[in-house]
Amino acid sequence: MDSLHTAAPPHYDIIIIGAGQAGLSLSWHMAQAGIRHLVLERAETFHAWKHERWDSFCLVTPNWQCVLPGYAYAGADPHGFMVKSDIIDFVEGFAASFNPPVRENTAVTSLTQHAAGFHLQTTQGEFTAAQICIATGGYHKPITPRMAERLPAHLTQLHANQYRNPAQLPPGAVLVVGTGQSGCQIAEDLHLAGREVHLATGSAPRVSRFYRGRDIVDWLQDMGHYDLPVTDHPMQEGVRGKANHYVTGRDGGRDIDLRKFAAEGMRLHGHLAAIAGEDIAFAPDLAANLDNADRVNDRIKDGIDAYIAAQNIPAPAEPRYTPLWHPAPADPPLNLAEAGITSLIWCVGYQPDYAWVHAPAFTGSGRPIHLRGVSPVPGLYFLGLPWLHTWGSGRFAAIARDAAYLSEHIIKARAPVFAK
C-alpha cells in the first residue's frame, strides 16, 4: 500500500517581504554574499511608486540623496527633485542592475515561528525560511476617521493614495484634510489647477526649501542631522511618530507657504473637529498651527545660522520670513452645500498593519519593537521604517546604510546555523 507524502514547502536562508527599495536593497546584499533568498511582493515591484502617488508627485529631498546599494543617482541635476516617472525609472534601474529573485503577486497572509525558523502562508502557497526581513515600510492602512461615516453619500471621498489629479474630481470645491507633506502638496496641486480649495490644517511643521544660498537639506546634511541615531535624539523613539516638515521639490523646489495660498484665495481652517451631515466644524487652532509651523522653520534656520558662524562659512545673509497673511479670530462652521464642496481628500496618515505576523515583536499599539531593525525575536528583522535608525531611514538617504547593517547582522546570525 503506497503511503502519501506531502512535499515540504520551499525553504530559503532568508525571505524578504516587500519588493520596494528597502527590500531590494537587502536583496542586493544577500546576492553579493551568495545567500539563497527570496523576495515576496504582494502586488508588483515598486507598486506604491507606480500606483499610489499622484501624477505631479516629486521627491522633497534632492536627487543627490538617492543612493541605493551599488547604485546612485547619476543624472545631470543632482540638486533637483525627481518627478514620479523619474523615480520609477531610478528604482527600476536599480532592480535591473542585479536581477533580484522577486516573486510578485504573492501576499503573505500569515507568518509564524517554528523549530527551523519561520513558516509563511501566502496567496501562492507555503514557504519556510531560517530568517525573515519585513520590508513593507511603515505606511500600510490609510487612516479614515470614523466621523467620515457622517458625511453625505453624494460627497466624493478619497484618501491621499487614491488621488491622482484635479481632473479626477467632480466639478466644485475640494476640502483637503491634513497638512502633512501629502495634504499640503495635494492642496497646492488643486490650487495651481484653479480649483477652489478648503484646507483643514494640523500640527505638522514646515521648513523652507532654501536658506542662505543653499537647499536646507544640504545644510542639514553637513550638520549631521541625517546621521543622528534615534537613540541620541532628544525625543528618543517618540520622534518616530512626528509628522515630517512640509515643503516641495516641485518646479525645482520651493517653500509651501499656506499663508501665501490663503492670500491667493485658498480657505484655511483649524483641524477638523466635528461632522454632522453637511455641516463641518473646525477647532479654533488655525493661528496656532500656522504660528507653530513658522516657529519650527525659524528654529531650523537658527541652527543653520549657528553652524555657519561656528564654521566661519561665507554665506549670504537672508532676512527672516514675514507672514503674508493672518487668519481671522473666528473660524465659523462650514456647510458643504453652501460652500459648493463636492469632494473631500483625507490626508491624515496611515497606520501599521502587522496582524499577519504572529511573533512577539510589537508594542501594545502594534508597532515593531527593534533596535536598528533587529527585533527581539531571533531571525526577525525590519527595514524601511521611518527613523529605523536615523532621520534618513525611511527615505532614499539612508536605506543603503540600514540594509548594509542588517546584512552584516543576518550573515553573522546565519553562520552557526549553516556551518559545515
Number of domains in the chain: 2
Examine the pLDDT at 238 and tell me if it is beyond 80.
no
Judgement on whether residues 362 and 334 belong to the same structural domain of the protein: no
Report pLDDT for 419: 37
Judgement on whether residues 36 and 148 belong to the same structural domain of the protein: no
Band of pLDDT at residue 4, cut at 50, 70 and 90: low
What radius of gyration, in Å, describes the C-alpha atoms of the chain?
A: 23
**What would the mean pLDDT of 216-223 be, rounded to a whole number?**
97
Has residue 384 been placed in a domain?
yes
Judgement on whether residues 133 and 192 belong to the same structural domain of the protein: no
Report pLDDT for 294: 98
Grid coordinates given for 409: 547582522
Band of pLDDT at residue 177, cut at 50, 70 and 90: very high
Judgement on whether residues 154 and 277 belong to the same structural domain of the protein: yes
- Beta bridge partners of residue 346, listed in sequence order: 159, 177
Has residue 4 been placed in a domain?
no
Report pLDDT for 310: 98
Report pLDDT for 391: 87
Tell me how far apart the alpha carbons of residues 360 and 368 are, in angstroms, rounded to a whole number: 9
Judgement on whether residues 363 and 342 belong to the same structural domain of the protein: no
Judgement on whether residues 204 and 339 belong to the same structural domain of the protein: yes
Has residue 2 been placed in a domain?
no
Has residue 5 been placed in a domain?
no
- Beta bridge partners of residue 142, listed in sequence order: 350
Examine the pLDDT at 2 and tell me if it is beyond 50.
no
φ, ψ for residue 49 (rounded to 5)? -65, -35
Amino acid at the residue 197: V
The per-residue pLDDT for range 283-321, each reduced to its tens digit, is 999 999 999 999 999 999 999 999 999 999 999 999 999
Grid coordinates given for 183: 495634504
Percentage of the chain exceeding pLDDT 90? 86
Report pLDDT for 266: 98
Does the pTM surpass 0.85? The reply is: yes
Tell me how far apart the alpha carbons of residues 210 and 304 are, in angstroms, rounded to a whole number: 11
Examine the pLDDT at 420 and tell me if it is beyond 80.
no
Report pLDDT for 380: 98
Grid coordinates given for 37: 533568498
The per-residue pLDDT for range 24-51, each reduced to its tens digit, is 999 999 999 999 999 999 999 999 999 9
Judgement on whether residues 233 and 134 belong to the same structural domain of the protein: no
3-state SS, residue 381? strand
Has residue 256 been placed in a domain?
yes
Which of 136, 58, 81, 22 minimizes the C-alpha distance to 396? 22
- Taking the C-alpha atoms of 222, 394, 168 and 198 in order, what is their torsion angle to the nearest 10 degrees? -70
DSSP readout, 141-163? Answer: EE---GGGGGS-TTSEEEEGGG-
Examine the pLDDT at 5 and tell me if it is beyond 90.
no
Judgement on whether residues 290 and 188 belong to the same structural domain of the protein: yes
Which of 379, 383, 409 minimizes the C-alpha distance to 129? 379
The per-residue pLDDT for range 111-146, each reduced to its tens digit, is 999 887 999 999 999 999 999 999 998 888 999 999
Judgement on whether residues 92 and 173 belong to the same structural domain of the protein: no
Contact yes or no for 179/199 (Cβ under 8 A) = yes
Examine the pLDDT at 202 and tell me if it is beyond 90.
yes
Grid coordinates given for 67: 543612493
Band of pLDDT at residue 3, cut at 50, 70 and 90: very low
Other residues' Cβ atoms within 10 Å of the Cβ of residue 208: 22
Give the H or E element holding residue 118.
Answer: strand 117-122
φ, ψ for residue 38 (rounded to 5)? -140, 145
Domain edge (last residue) among 346, 361, 387: 346
Domain edge (last residue) among 346, 362, 394: 346
- The DSSP code for 362 is B
Report pLDDT for 1: 40
Examine the pLDDT at 175 and tell me if it is beyond 80.
yes
Nearest-10 crossing angle of helices 396-418, 21-33: 40
Residue with cell 483649524: 270
Domain edge (last residue) among 320, 346, 372: 346
Judgement on whether residues 150 and 121 belong to the same structural domain of the protein: no
Judgement on whether residues 46 and 150 belong to the same structural domain of the protein: no
Has residue 241 been placed in a domain?
yes
Judgement on whether residues 320 and 212 belong to the same structural domain of the protein: yes
Has residue 386 been placed in a domain?
yes
Q: In what order do the strands lie in the sheet with 156-159?
A: 156-159, 341-346, 173-177, 197-200, 267-269
For residue 408, what is the domain's CATH number? 3.50.50.60
Examine the pLDDT at 96 and tell me if it is beyond 80.
yes
Domain hosting residue 360, numbered range = 11-140+352-418
Give the H or E element holding residue 113.
Answer: strand 108-114
3-state SS, residue 363? coil
Which of 44, 30, 23 minimizes the C-alpha distance to 106? 44
